[in-house]
Amino acid sequence: MNSQNRNRLRGLSVHLALMTGVVISVFPFYWIVVMATNTSQDIYSYPPKLWFGDNLLTNIQHLFDRMDFFGSMFNTLIVAVCTTLLVLFFDSLAAFAFAKYDFPAKKFLFGLLLSMYILPTQLAIIPQYEIMVQLGWLGTLKALIVPAAANAFGIFWMRQYTTSSVPDELLDAARIEGAGFIRLYWHVVLPCVRPALAFLGIYTFIAAWNDYILPLVMLVNPDHLTLQVALAQLYAGHSTDYSMVMSGVLLSVIPLVLVFTFFARGFIADATKGALR
Amino acid sequence: MSSSPVAGPAPTGPTPGSDAGPTDRPTPGRRRGPGRHGRRVRPVSAGTPRGPRRRTGRYWPQYLAISPYYVLFSVFMLFPVLYTVYLAFQKWDGIGDMQFVGFQQFRFLWDDPVFWLSVRNTLVIWVLSTVPMLFLALVLAVLVNSTRRFTALYRVALFIPSITSLVAIAIFFGAIFSNNFGLINAILRSLHVSAVPWMSNEWTIKLVIAALMTWQWTGYNAIIYLAGLQAIPSELYEAAKMDGARPVRIFFSITIPLLRPIILFTVVISTVTGLQSFTEPQVLFGSEAATNPNSGGPGQAGLTTLLYFYHQAFDNNDFGYGAAIVWAFFLVILLIVLINWRLVQRKERRP
C-alpha cells in the first residue's frame, strides 16, 4: 500500500517535471499570440495583459503598411520550394548511384563527401558573395537556391535508406526488362524511397525557410528580401511596436509549426536516426 | 523521364551528344532519352565482383548522377574556403585591387582587443548555454524514458523549439526581456523584486542569449538522448536491480557509460553550433551599425566572433581582415572540439 502510493507520487512528480518542460517549450508561441492580438499599450501596461485580445487584424494592417509581408513570404516560399525539389532530386539520384553501383573512386568520393561536411559556411561566405557579384546573381533568389541545390547530409541519408530498402532483385528484374540507370531510378528507386524523401523534404524546407545568414548577405536589395531578413529589419526599425512586429512573427511561424506538428511523429523519429548515424 | 516499355535487354547506343563513347552500342529505333541511359549498366549491386580492368567510361550515368553535388561543392564551398585563406593575406575592399600584405592581417588580429573580446563573449555564451542545455536534456530524457504516458506529446513539444525560426525567437526574447516593457521584469515587479536591466548589463545580455540557445536546443538533445536510452537493453537494468543497486548507482554505472558515444556526439554538435552564434545577437542588437562602438549591444557584450566577422566583412568591406578573423576562429573551434573529444574519450577509459 505504502509503496504503491510512493510509486504513484513518483509518477506524478515525473509528469509534473515534464509538463513544466512542455510549458516552457510552448510558452513562446502562446505569448507571441498574446502580444499579436493585443495593442502595444496593453503590453506596456502594468500588470500586462496575459490573455488574447481582439486587436490582431489592426496589428496585421499596420504590419502590411510597414513591410511587404506577402512579397517576402512569396520569396521565401520560392527559395524553400525550389531548394527542396532540387535537393530531393539531386540527392536521391546521387544516393542511388552510391548505394547500388560500384564505380572507380566511389569510396574516395564518398569519403570526401563525408569529411567536407564539417566545413562551416562562414568560411566560404566572402568568396561566395564575390562569386555572386561576378555571376550577376547578387540580390536574386538564385544566389540562395543554386548553392543549396545538393548537400552531403541528404546524399548520406538517402544512401542509407536506398541501400536497405530498395531490393536488388527488383532492380535486376527491371534491368532484364532493359531499364537503364535513369529508368531504374524513376520507376524502381523513387517509389521505394518515398518515406526517406518525405523526411529530407520537410527538413530541407524548414532549413531553407528559417535560413538567415545567407539571405542577409546575398539579398542586398531591401525591397526583395526573405521573410526572416524582412522581419529582423522590421524589428530593428520598430522594436517598440511589439504588437505589430509580433503579428508578423506569428504569421511567419504558424504555417511552419502547423506543417511540422502534422508530420511530427515520423519526422522526429527520422531526425534522431539521421543524427545518430 | 518517359516510361516507354522496352522489350529485351537493352543495348544502346551512342546518341548524338553522348560522348560516353566506346561502351555504348547502337540500337536503332530507340528514342533518344531512354536510349542514352538504357544501356545495360553493369551491375552493380553491392555484391558484384570487381573487375580490375573496368573502364570508367561505362559508368558515366553514375558519375553524372553524383556530379551535381561535387560541382556545387567545388564552386560554392571548396574553392571559396581556399580562397578565404588567400584573402586573409590580402588587403581588399571587394572593389579595388588586392594588395598582398603577408601576415599583417593576423598581426593586427593578434593585437585587436575587440577580436579577443568577441572570442571571450562567444566562449562565455557557449558555456552558459551548453552546460545547462545538455544537463537538462539528459534529465528530461531520463524522465520521458521512465514513463509510458503522454510520451508522444512530450516528444513533439520538446522538439518544436528546434524547428522554430531563430529570428522569430530572438524577437520574442528581445520583447520579454525588454528593460522597461518586458514580461520578465513585469513578473519581477509583481514579486516586489526590482527590475533587472537585462538588455544593458554585460552579463545579463549574455544570459539572455544563452537562455535563447538553451530554450531552442534542450529538447532536441533530449530526444537524441532518449533514442540512446531506449537502445540500452532492459536486462542490464534488471540485473543491476537484482544485485541491489540503487537508481542513482544504476544511472552512473550503466546509463552514463552506455550513453557516452551519444553524449560525445551532442557535445561536438553543440560546440560547433554554439560557437557559431550569430543570428541571436545580430537580431537582438542589429540596429547598432558596425561603426557604432556598441555593436553587439551595450559594451559590445553580445558581440560574438561571427558577428564581428560579419561587421568587418560586409559592413566595413574589409574582406581581407574578415577572412583572417573567420579562419582564426575556425581554428579555435577545431581546437575546442578536439579538447572536448579528448576529455570525453578519456573518461571512457576510466573503469
> Does residue A118 sit within a domain?
yes
Co-location of A46 and A77 in the same domain: no
ipTM value of the model?
0.90
| pLDDT score recorded for residue A1 | 52
Who contacts A182 (Cβ-Cβ below 8 Å, separation ≥6)? B1, B33, B34, B37, B61
Of residues B19 and A200, the one with the higher pLDDT is A200
Domain interval for residue A26 = 2-54
Contact criterion met (CB < 8 Å) for A249 and B50: no
Rounded CA separation B141/B227 (Å) = 9
> Does residue B2 sit within a domain?
no
| pLDDT score recorded for residue A277 | 62
With a cut of 80, say whether residue B296 has pLDDT above it.
no
Beta bridge partners of B99: B91
Co-location of A45 and A133 in the same domain: no
| pLDDT score recorded for residue A59 | 87
Q: What is the grid cell recorded at A264? A: 511530427
* pLDDT bracket for residue B254 (50, 70, 90): confident
Beta bridge partners of B100: B90
> Does residue A59 sit within a domain?
no
CATH code where residue B204 lies: 1.10.3720.10
| pLDDT score recorded for residue B23 | 39
Give the total number of structural domains in chain B: 1
Nearest to B330 among A116, A123, A245 (CB): A123
> Does residue A62 sit within a domain?
no
| pLDDT score recorded for residue B42 | 45
> Does residue B75 sit within a domain?
no
With a cut of 70, say whether residue B263 has pLDDT above it.
yes
Residue B201, phi-psi category: left (phi > 0), alpha (psi -120 to 50), beta (remainder): beta
What secondary structure does DSSP assign to B145-168, as a single string? HT--TTHHHHHHHHHHHHHS-HHH
Contact criterion met (CB < 8 Å) for B73 and A249: no
Co-location of A117 and A202 in the same domain: yes
With a cut of 80, say whether residue A123 has pLDDT above it.
yes
CB B184 within 8 A of CB B198: yes
| pLDDT score recorded for residue B244 | 82
* Percentage of chain B modeled with pLDDT above 90: 34
Nearest CA in chain B to A105: B56
Contact criterion met (CB < 8 Å) for B276 and A120: yes
Nearest CA in chain A to B289: A236
The single residue listed with the C-alpha cell 582587443 is B113
Of residues A118 and A102, the one with the higher pLDDT is A102
Contact criterion met (CB < 8 Å) for B66 and A94: yes
Contact criterion met (CB < 8 Å) for A178 and B10: yes
Dihedrals phi, psi of A7, to nearest 5 degrees: -60, -40
Co-location of A232 and A169 in the same domain: yes
Taking the CA atoms of residue A179, residue A181, residue A186 and residue A191 in that order, the dihedral angle to the nearest 10 degrees is: 90
| pLDDT score recorded for residue A127 | 93
With a cut of 70, say whether residue B32 has pLDDT above it.
no
With a cut of 50, say whether residue B8 has pLDDT above it.
no
* Percentage of chain B modeled with pLDDT above 70: 79
Domain interval for residue B221 = 107-349
Give the total number of structural domains in chain A: 2
Co-location of A91 and A148 in the same domain: yes
Tens digits of residue pLDDT in A45-56: 777 777 888 888
Average pLDDT score over residue span B325-347? 85
Co-location of A147 and A44 in the same domain: no
Least confident of A20-34, B107-121, B150-164, B291-305: B291-305
> Does residue A21 sit within a domain?
yes
* pLDDT bracket for residue A137 (50, 70, 90): very high
Rounded CA separation B236/B74 (Å) = 48
Co-location of A47 and A105 in the same domain: no
With beta carbons under 8 A apart, name residues in chain B contacting A183: 1, 3, 6, 34, 37-38
Nearest to A236 among B156, B215, B287 (CB): B287
Nearest to A176 among B9, B37, B215 (CB): B9
| pLDDT score recorded for residue A147 | 93
> Does residue A199 sit within a domain?
yes
Nearest CA in chain B to A238: B287
With beta carbons under 8 A apart, name residues in chain B contacting A233: 286
A195 min Cα distance to partner chain B (Å)? 19
Nearest to B45 among A15, A100, A181 (CB): A100
Average pLDDT score over residue span B54-79? 87
Rounded CA separation B223/B244 (Å) = 29
With a cut of 60, say whether residue B7 has pLDDT above it.
no
Co-location of A219 and A96 in the same domain: yes
With beta carbons under 8 A apart, name residues in chain B contacting A252: 165, 168
- Across all residues in chain B, what is the average pLDDT? 79
> Does residue A61 sit within a domain?
no
Site from B55, B69, B224, B232 to mutate, A interface, most A CB atoms within 10 angstroms: B69
Co-location of A7 and A78 in the same domain: no
**Distance, C-alpha B122 to centroid of its chain:** 16
Rounded CA separation B337/B272 (Å) = 7
With beta carbons under 8 A apart, name residues in chain A contacting B81: 119, 123-124, 127
With a cut of 60, say whether residue A156 has pLDDT above it.
yes
* pLDDT bracket for residue B258 (50, 70, 90): confident
**Distance, C-alpha B153 to centroid of its chain:** 26
| pLDDT score recorded for residue B54 | 52
> Does residue B98 sit within a domain?
no
Contact criterion met (CB < 8 Å) for A146 and B76: yes
Co-location of A50 and A79 in the same domain: no
| pLDDT score recorded for residue A247 | 93
> Does residue A269 sit within a domain?
yes
Tens digits of residue pLDDT in A75-90: 999 999 999 999 999 9
Co-location of A166 and A35 in the same domain: no
Nearest CA in chain A to B319: A126
Other C-beta atoms within 10 Å of A240: how many?
13
Contact criterion met (CB < 8 Å) for B37 and A94: no
CB A70 within 8 A of CB A248: no
> Does residue A105 sit within a domain?
yes
| pLDDT score recorded for residue A267 | 83
Co-location of A260 and A140 in the same domain: yes
